[in-house]
Amino acid sequence: MHLLQMKNFRSVRIPIFLVAFFIFGNAVAQSDSNGMLPSSFLTAAGGSLVYDVSLDYKEQHISGLLVAKEEEHGYHVVLLSKLGLKVMEFMLTPDGLNWIKTFDRLDKRMIKKALHQDFSVLYLMPLHNPEKVRLKKNNKVKIKKCIKLQVQLSDDHKRVIKAETKNFINFFKTKVIFYYINDDDIPDEICLTRNNVKMKIYMNLLKR
């Protein structure tokens, strides 16, 4: 082989090696992280949970009970008043939020999109069969499914401590913190906030 041909061979061989290493390494990381992700806490609880909930948006306040049940195609979520009356009800799926009962002012495309993002993070929907998973440092994992999500896991990877959206434009980032008091993997308290929006959802687990 001529010297010029050998130089050309080396210049081609190195990029091919780097591409192969990147593809193989990424595939291994995705395979390993899929096995290390915890299940949704709804799944861990047997498919249904009830939380005492307080919702604040600007000067408006709503409190009641938030009931969620895991079904075949998503989550059935109902907000009840303290008297047991339905305030709102919807199906949460990877494709969107479908109202069953709501107010006219909430039945708008942008509001549905925002609520879909918030409740998908709140109930950790992207943990179910994620499209893409990438491990990061300090027990952080990036997940892509219906939304792009980054979660902070406990050291044993059995609990989600924190979750937040990682969209390209993240001005109104959704952030959720999960607090655990008991030894199980079901959060006893949950707090959701949004960047640059005066809103908060606080949930306290009722005894099961």
In a domain, 14, yes or no: no
**Span of 4-13, 114-123, 155-164, 180-189 with lowest mean pLDDT:** 4-13
Largest CA distance in the chain: 87
Residue 30 lies in a domain: no
Residue 143's CATH number: 2.50.20.10
Q: Please check whether residue 56 lies inside any domain of the structure.
A: yes
pLDDT score recorded for residue 104: 86
198 assigned to some structural domain: yes
Average pLDDT over residues 100-111: 90
User: pLDDT (tens digit, 9 = 90+) per residue, 86-96?
Assistant: 999 999 999 99
Residue 23 falls within a domain, yes or no? no
pLDDT of residue 154: 93
Residue 29 maps to a domain: no
- Domain range for 128: 37-205
* CB distance 14 to 22 below 8 Å: no
Number of domains in the chain: 1
Residue type, 147: I
